[in-house]
Structure 1
Amino acid sequence: MSDNGRDGLAPLVLLVEDELGLSKLMVMILEEEGYRVVEAANGVLGLALLEQEMPALIITDYMMPEMNGVEMVRAIRRNPAYDAVPILMMSAAMPQQVPGRDLVDAFLAKGTGLERLTSTVRALIGQPRSGGSA
């Protein structure tokens, strides 16, 4: 099982995003910042990965097939093993249209910019100790 950076490895981010192009861009940006990233294309796959990896942060889209981000977050929050894992939700929907925002630690509208994404990630889990250009 992976860790959240305590053993000297960069913190692990679980990215749950169904738009392939956006997912690849976010992985590239996060890895350039020095984080390790594992990807899932929907909430079902995200929960399956969560059983194998203990991320320092979960970033999830809201609108996805199979299981949306809110359904996935509700399932995660029911498991006390993940109480300390912050969750960042992103969506193209208007923030007031997204239920369950009280279950996440941060919310970003898609299109707010990569600097906002990286600064929010750093605020939630800190700067990685190794790698990265920032």
Structure 2
Amino acid sequence: MPDGSSFGGARPTILVVEDEAPLLTLLRYNLEKQGFRVEEATDGQEALLRVSEAKPDLILLDWMLPAMSGLEVCRQLRRRAETRDLPIIMVTARTEDGDAVRALDTGADDHIAKPFAVDALMARIRALLRRSGAAAPKGVLAWQDIQMDQDAHRVMRNGRKLHLGPTEYRLLEFFLSHPGRVFSREQLLDAVWGRDIHVELRTVDVHIRRLRKAVNGDGEADVIRTVRSAGYALDREE
């Protein structure tokens, strides 16, 4: 059974922000069973306070909360330098088209709709924690003016520190390992999200857009090349 030992012996802390008591109890039970430490908050203000007091390793954030929505909580966390890269999974009962993209555009790293299978949620949590550096690889990757220190989990371009979310970091890490090669959305999903995670193809486009925004500064060339009907590559346009 997967547990905290999957992350080098540490027990990652999950902050569950949920106002439905039965679901909160269910999530705590299953997360602790998997070896995670669990903190709770039942509204947005309490969530922000708990994060300020002790930063968790990941937030499981309900969209529909009293007084302050999960989207607003996500926005506020992304505005703070200390929580800009904090992994966030948005959990919601909303199923309308575009909700997943809206959650991602607000800054969430992943999105899952209620009702969900507990095993699927746990797989997403473990994948996101791995992408956030809980099991960081070793060494330095470099391409042209971009350097990624995998030990320090730091990315620089032209001496400028880049602020990347966990998924954007993993995308760039994958591209840096295969510069110039074009990857389809399906290939990127398999490599970055994992084969056991069901994610819509358009999710890749959202994270590519966020990666571009983070990597390409004023006056700098766009290093993420879009290849029509094929996919994306770490490359410069000719």
| Normalised TM-score (structure 2) | 0.48
Separation in 2 of the partners of 1:32 and 1:17? 19
1:114 counterpart = 2:118:
yes
Pair 1:101-2:104 in alignment: yes
Q: CA deviation at 1:94?
A: 1.1
Contact 1:60 1:87 in 2 (8 A): yes
TM-aligned CA deviation for residue 54 of structure 1: 1.0
CA contact (8 A) 2:103 2:111 kept: no
**Judging changes above 3 Å, is the alpha-carbon distance between structure 1 residues 80 and 50 closer, same or farther for their aligned structure 2 residues?**
same
Which AA in structure 1 matches 2:116?
T
Task: State the partner residue of 1:43.
Answer: 44
Q: How far apart in 2 are the matches of 1:41 and 1:109?
A: 18
CA distance 1:30–1:104, change in 2 (3 Å):
same
Give the Å deviation of 1:85: 1.2
Match of 2:76 in 1: 75
Secondary structure of the corresponding residue to residue 72 of structure 2:
helix
The alpha carbon displacement at 1:7 in A equals: 9.4
Give the C-alpha shift of residue 125 in structure 1: 0.7
How far has the Cα of 1:32 moved from its partner?
Answer: 0.4
Instruction: Give ranges in structure 2 of 5+ residues lacking alignment.
Output: 1-6, 136-238
Kept in 2, the 8 Å contact 1:15–1:39? The answer is: yes
Secondary structure, counterpart of 2:97 in structure 1: helix
Paired AA for residue 117 in structure 1:
L
Higher relative contact order, chain-length normalized (CA < 8 Å, sep 6+): 1
**What amino acid does structure 2 have at the position aligned with 1:53?**
A
Relative to 1, partners in 2 of residues 1:42 and 1:20: Cα closer, same or farther, differing over 3 Å? same
Change (3 A) 1:95 1:122: farther
Conservation of the 8 A alpha-carbon contact between 1:95 and 1:109: no
Percent sequence identity over matched residues?
A: 34
Q: What does residue range 57-68 of structure 1 map to in structure 2 within 5 Å?
A: 57-68=58-69
Are 1:53 and 2:57 counterparts?
no
Structure 1 residue 84: deviation in Å? 2.4
Q: RMSD over aligned Cα, in angstroms?
A: 2.1
Q: How many residues align?
A: 123
What is the rounded CA distance, in whole Å, between the counterparts of 1:49 and 1:86 in structure 2? 15
Map Cα deviations across residues 55-82 of structure 1 (whole Å, 9 max, x no partner).
1101100001011100100000000101
Letter of the 2:104 partner, please give it: R
Equivalent in the alignment of 1:91: 92
Ranges in structure 1 where 5+ consecutive residues have no aligned partner: 1-5, 130-134
One-letter identity of the residue aligned with 1:65 = P
Paired residues of 1:13 and 1:56 also in contact (CA < 8 A)? yes
Write the distance in 2 (CA, Å) between the matches of 1:56 and 1:77: 15
Secondary structure, aligned partner of 2:40:
strand
Cα distance, 1:31–1:66 mapped onto 2, change above 3 Å: same
SS in 2 for 1:50: helix
Q: What is the SS of the residue equivalent to 2:85?
A: coil
- Match for 1:105: what amino acid? D
Q: 1:64 to 1:46 in 2, by over 3 A?
A: same
Is 1:32 the equivalent of 2:36?
Answer: no
